[in-house]
Structure 1
Amino acid sequence: MTLALAQINPTVGDLDGNCQRIVSYAEQAAEAGADLVAFPELCLTGYPPQDLLSNPLFIEAVQEAIAELASTIPAGIGVIVGAPLPNPDPEGRPLYNTALLLERGAAEATVRSKALLPTYDVFDEDRHFEPGPEAQVVSWRGMRIGLHVCEDMWNCNPNVPHRRYTRDPIAELAEQRPDFLLNISASPFSMGKAAEREALLESATTQHNVPFAFVNQVGANTEIVFDGNSRVYTASGTCAAAGTPFDEDLVVVDLDALTPTPPPARNDIADLHDALVLGIRDYYEKTGIFEKALVGLSGGIDSAVTCALATEALGPDRVLGVTMPSEISSEGSVTDSEQLARNLGIDFKEIPIAPAVDAFDHMLADTFSGTEPGVAEENIQSRSRGITLMALSNKFGHLLLSTGNKSEMAVGYVTLYGDTNGGVAVLSDVLKTKVYELANYINSKAGTDRIPQNTIDKPPSAELRPDQEDTDSLPEYAVLDTILARYVEEMEEAGTIIAETGYDPDLVHQVLRMVDQNEYKRRQAPPGIRVTDKAFGMGRRIPIVMNWDREAAQSAARPAA
């Protein structure tokens, strides 16, 4: 049998557009001689459809689209698509998350429903879907296909410390001696996830001695990026074919003649870069609302990297950079921004904010009389910049990109209604130390300094008071990011962080308190592009109003001397 994996980029809710894409790739697969072509999980609706699934009109339109699709796919080829189907049983959730095997002219589709429904991090499938029954192979044209959906393959690793489910659909299918296993997925990208998937696929094939094909969605829908990286593995656990990361692709293989074909080597920074570029591009293209990106340029590393990524995603003619110096801005704030704009070939404007700052100072002078100047006065500069950028956004219809990184967002080193303004927070899941790695990668990839070297070399500063540096308020970023990665991404607590890093206990507790106390700021920030296993936003649900005493809990858990 010749199998094709159609690694496509659907748009959530665009049933007509997604159907057209499916038919187009099915035609390409048929022309390539494929007997069967498989598309990703919920490719008809796009993933994640979220509460569109609660809309009866949407579900009705999905069923009509399935019928239309069955009549327009090429004759002679089997087409596997992912789509929600109504649950006919009034008991249980209203829908199934299904894989449908369609054939033109067939009376009905062969259906297999997803058994394991993830309800953690960015997933909330138990909200809408009923778990599928015991897994059953699909007998089709003399082949026995172990067809299953995404999460159904993630409980087959016997070496993990905690298994989320009592069922193992892969084992259920393997007992029925399939000719090959086939997983249709919408598995999001995070740094290191591709290697984790590959290890899982290798383990499943060698454990059950059966070839394994995995087709994954590619593209970005709001916060979530999908990297594709579809794979076919031999029964001995070697990769025989691979889809192009972060791009649509059609992978065609002869299942009777699989040979080892190592995929091209990748690294985490290249993947991070490509994920962010894809996240920006798809946000603009799929919403179809905004033509240009607007970026406030400070001469610093975060705005420079954001601007460079936006330029690569959209092209230089669709990016506008604006620098907004105040009376205390350094010369480099303007000159480095100008140099960045020249290097990238983007439009550039300089709009000084001194008149706005002076106006606010004058307006508040009586109310602030008798107090010492401090954070309130400093943040007027940031908010003046935010007002300026939003005025440009409103006037010209550009989408403002927020430039704050994950380190700053974590500890609240951002100004609400100032540098948090915007429609997309490009770097909100990228720690500061990774931002520097991205800058160096961007320059290395281009073979020239697209980001000025002075921007990379100078000490980071918010420039809200004379001679200010970030280290006036924060630890060195190498230390801060180590603590944040352990607490936010690896969910370690203070005692473990202190014991394993040797950092000062007071410093660790201070950083963790800052993270907890600034949840209210993060709730008011734009959606960010998720690139780690634990991003702020929909995947990390922490109460704003809480009063958990970490130090007391840690002391109570510590054994008495």
Structure 2
Amino acid sequence: MPQLRLALAQVDAVLGDLEGNARMIREWTARAADSGAQLVAFPEMVLTGYPVEDLALRRSFVDASRSAVLRLAADLASDGFGQLPVVVGYLDRAEGRDADTDGDGVSEDGRTGIPKGMPQNCVAVLHQGRVAARYAKHHLPNYGVFDEFRIFVPGHGLTVVRVGDVDVALAICEDLWQDGGPVARTREAGAELLLVVNGSPYERCKDDTRLDLVRRRAAEAGCTLAYLNLVGGQDDLVFDGDSVVVSAGGEVLARAPQFTEHLLTVDLDLAASTVDADGDGPDVRHVVLSEEPLPERTPEPPTIATRLDDDAEVWSALVTGLSGYVRKNGFSSVAIAMSGGIDSAVVAALAADALGGRHVFGISMPSEYSSDHSKDDAADLAQRIGADYRVEPIADAVAVLQRQLGFTGVAEENLQARVRGLILMGISNSEGHLVLATSNKSELAVGYSTLYGDSVGGFAPLKDVPKTLVWQLARWRNAEAERLGQTPPIPERSIAKPPSAELRPGQTDQDSLPPYEVLDPVLERYVVEAEGRSELVEEGFDPEVVDRVVGLVDRAEWKRRQFAPGPKISRVAFGRDRRLPITSRWRENEPGSPAAPADQPTAKEPQ
């Protein structure tokens, strides 16, 4: 029985850096070759980075990707790896049998035509200095964060490459999630391995869903299935890796760690091909790379990485998203308003884990309402994580502006937050730090943040983290530090004390909002599950609480549109997952009641 040593390169690509990504592919291919790999694969669109969004519509970018993949094939051969097949995701355009080449509306194989030159999400098999085979993604997702149906055109047919005497079928990400298509054709084509390259973003609990899917598709394809995923942060998306290889019977043969680059190498015992490679049909393209039987070797023990628990997984996702955004946008340090509260403490701890404490600059900006314990807790936090720390009191600046402007009510309260935002951005401009906003998902949902105040920042690590989860993560991170014999990064008092914006003596968040343990379940169902008022009330939620919360959420859309990006960890994050109009008179009222007029959302000055 043939044995194929497969290497899956779970790597972190930088979007748009075609030269840098090509160098990375060459380096990891060399590592795979050193491990004795006979086939090496890289993730979806690794050469360009993913997702490319509307860059796919720029002809110059498509041309650059096509040129880069040809150069990469030649460079791999000059590196001495011409005989090693390398599967690489890249951006191409529809040509040949996938395209309507003569403008008559029909492609060469008789299908309804695809306009020639339209962009496609593709993989190339590089061998002997050339592109030996190509496959274009069939199923183009158009839900959640994806808009591929708008920017790409689909491919047709299955590509099968023969490596030695083993046939390997190719597919890309969504092709695995949809019934039929390449998976069904894999069985018909008689392939022994289905290799699926992915750019699948992280979501809580998606890990188990993926494994169940991979097992089911392996059974449907009737062969071993290798699932390879990107890792790293790209804007508001986090890719968690977690690549896996399963047998047709569902046994996990190898699995990569989460949230880290890794070369997953596995020896696969596969049946020799019995298919006539010259017998292409309309739905299958066979490409023979080599037909000499693969040499036998002693199998190496497979890697099956231990799964992270839920809190560790979320923390790792946030750290990955933050470090990726900072690094890929050319920053080396971050500035944070350290208030002594739980949100700023968790953001600072995340930043220290992502960048190292010496790259974190904490600024305490106490007002006349700031308590002594808040100032002490901020200083304690900075010492625990090894951050640079300074105190910039704002009372005098606020007093000068207040005397000049004479604000009252919310405008007066928010003046403190806007002075803090001014200081943060001034320090950012003068010292080159990226400012991190500290608001959490619960606050963003109900508009409980000050525009141009505590919302100031270039990245928001907690944007998709509900307040109750913020506390949970803080407790987990401290417990993890204790387990490792380290100093817990977050002061216990920051976790235990009631959350407060400290706008006036004795104030807490619950003066204006339901308790977070009540608020967050309502937000989960209204924002993530898209349940309406009647459904929420039927589930037992207090009608008064429901009316109050959904009204706040609906009126705060204009604020959320102006907020910084942050890492997505839920199924529905604010941003590209949830696209609602700002100007709308629709409100979730009692059946038959008129829609309430739009009004300004309530605001506060969070720390």
| TM surpasses 0.5 | yes
**CA distance, structure 1, for counterparts of residue 488 and residue 44 of structure 2:** 41
Does 1:532 find its partner at 2:545? Answer: no
Match of 2:19 in 1: 16
Q: Deviations over 1:323-344 (max 9, x none)?
A: 1110011111100000001111
**CA distance, structure 1, for counterparts of residue 500 and residue 549 of structure 2:** 19
- The alpha carbon displacement at 1:487 in A equals 1.4
Match of 1:279 in 2: 321
Which of 174, 177, 180 does residue 187 from structure 2 map onto? 174
Which of 69, 83, 86 does residue 76 from structure 1 map onto? 83
SS in 2 for 1:117: coil
Match of 1:544 in 2: 582
**CA distance, structure 1, for counterparts of residue 496 and residue 488 of structure 2:** 12
Does 1:128 find its partner at 2:128? Answer: no
Match of 1:559 in 2: none
Q: Deviations over 1:288-344 (max 9, x none)?
A: 1x2210000111000000001001111111110011110011111100000001111
How many residues get paired? 537
**CA distance, structure 2, for counterparts of residue 43 and residue 177 of structure 1:** 28
Aligned ranges for residues 335-346 of structure 1 at < 5 Å? 335-346=376-387
Which of 451, 469, 473 does residue 434 from structure 1 map onto? 469
Calculate the TM-score normalised by the size of structure 1: 0.93
- The alpha carbon displacement at 1:547 in A equals 1.6
Aligned ranges for residues 216-295 of structure 1 at < 5 Å? 216-256=229-269, 263-288=305-330, 290-295=331-336
**CA distance, structure 2, for counterparts of residue 540 and residue 503 of structure 1:** 23
**CA distance, structure 2, for counterparts of residue 310 and residue 87 of structure 1:** 43
Contact 1:227 1:245 in 2 (8 A): yes
**CA distance, structure 1, for counterparts of residue 515 and residue 395 of structure 2:** 31
- The alpha carbon displacement at 1:176 in A equals 2.1
SS in 1 for 2:436: strand
Match of 2:295 in 1: none
Which of 490, 499, 522 does residue 460 from structure 1 map onto? 499
Contact 2:186 2:221 in 1 (8 A): no
- The alpha carbon displacement at 1:111 in A equals 0.8
**CA distance, structure 1, for counterparts of residue 560 and residue 427 of structure 2:** 24
Q: Deviations over 1:457-489 (max 9, x none)?
A: 000011112211011111110111101111112
Match of 1:65 in 2: 68
- The alpha carbon displacement at 1:19 in A equals 0.2
**CA distance, structure 1, for counterparts of residue 223 and residue 530 of structure 2:** 36
Contact 2:259 2:317 in 1 (8 A): yes
Calculate the TM-score normalised by the size of structure 2: 0.86
Match of 2:546 in 1: 508
Which of 449, 453, 473 does residue 488 from structure 2 map onto? 449
Residues 56, 472 of structure 1: CA spacing in aligned structure 2 closer, same or farther, 3 A cutoff?
same
**CA distance, structure 1, for counterparts of residue 165 and residue 124 of structure 2:** 18
Match of 1:306 in 2: 347
Contact 1:240 1:259 in 2 (8 A): no
Q: Deviations over 1:49-75 (max 9, x none)?
A: 112222222222111111110012212
Q: Deviations over 1:196-241 (max 9, x none)?
A: 1011112222344321100000001111110000000011102111
Residues 343, 32 of structure 1: CA spacing in aligned structure 2 closer, same or farther, 3 A cutoff?
same
SS in 2 for 1:540: coil
SS in 2 for 1:202: helix
Contact 1:218 1:248 in 2 (8 A): yes
- The alpha carbon displacement at 1:139 in A equals 3.5
Contact 1:392 1:398 in 2 (8 A): yes
- The alpha carbon displacement at 1:396 in A equals 0.9
**CA distance, structure 2, for counterparts of residue 192 and residue 247 of structure 1:** 18
Does 1:419 find its partner at 2:460? Answer: no
Which of 508, 515, 518 does residue 469 from structure 1 map onto? 508
Alignment RMSD (CA, Å): 1.8
Does 1:147 find its partner at 2:201? Answer: no
The amino acid across from 1:231 in the alignment is: V
**CA distance, structure 2, for counterparts of residue 266 and residue 395 of structure 1:** 40
Match of 1:499 in 2: 538
Match of 1:318 in 2: 359
Residues 134, 64 of structure 1: CA spacing in aligned structure 2 closer, same or farther, 3 A cutoff?
closer
**CA distance, structure 1, for counterparts of residue 119 and residue 261 of structure 2:** 28
Match of 2:605 in 1: none
Residues 59, 137 of structure 1: CA spacing in aligned structure 2 closer, same or farther, 3 A cutoff?
same
SS in 1 for 2:167: strand
SS in 2 for 1:83: strand
Contact 1:136 1:173 in 2 (8 A): no
Contact 2:264 2:303 in 1 (8 A): no
Q: Deviations over 1:83-113 (max 9, x none)?
A: 111123364371111111111234x420111
Gaps of 5+ in 2: 101-113, 270-298, 595-607
- The alpha carbon displacement at 1:140 in A equals 3.7
Residues 174, 260 of structure 1: CA spacing in aligned structure 2 closer, same or farther, 3 A cutoff?
farther
Match of 2:36 in 1: 33
**CA distance, structure 1, for counterparts of residue 527 and residue 24 of structure 2:** 38
Does 1:483 find its partner at 2:507? Answer: no
Match of 1:520 in 2: 558
- The alpha carbon displacement at 1:264 in A equals 0.9
The amino acid across from 1:388 in the alignment is: I
Does 1:103 find its partner at 2:127? Answer: yes
Match of 1:185 in 2: 198
Contact 2:551 2:587 in 1 (8 A): no
Residues 314, 259 of structure 1: CA spacing in aligned structure 2 closer, same or farther, 3 A cutoff?
closer
**CA distance, structure 2, for counterparts of residue 404 and residue 132 of structure 1:** 42
Contact 2:257 2:307 in 1 (8 A): no
**CA distance, structure 2, for counterparts of residue 460 and residue 527 of structure 1:** 24
**CA distance, structure 2, for counterparts of residue 279 and residue 218 of structure 1:** 10
Match of 1:352 in 2: 393
Residues 181, 554 of structure 1: CA spacing in aligned structure 2 closer, same or farther, 3 A cutoff?
farther
Contact 2:133 2:159 in 1 (8 A): no
Contact 2:187 2:220 in 1 (8 A): no
**CA distance, structure 2, for counterparts of residue 353 and residue 211 of structure 1:** 63
**CA distance, structure 2, for counterparts of residue 426 and residue 334 of structure 1:** 22
Contact 1:239 1:260 in 2 (8 A): no
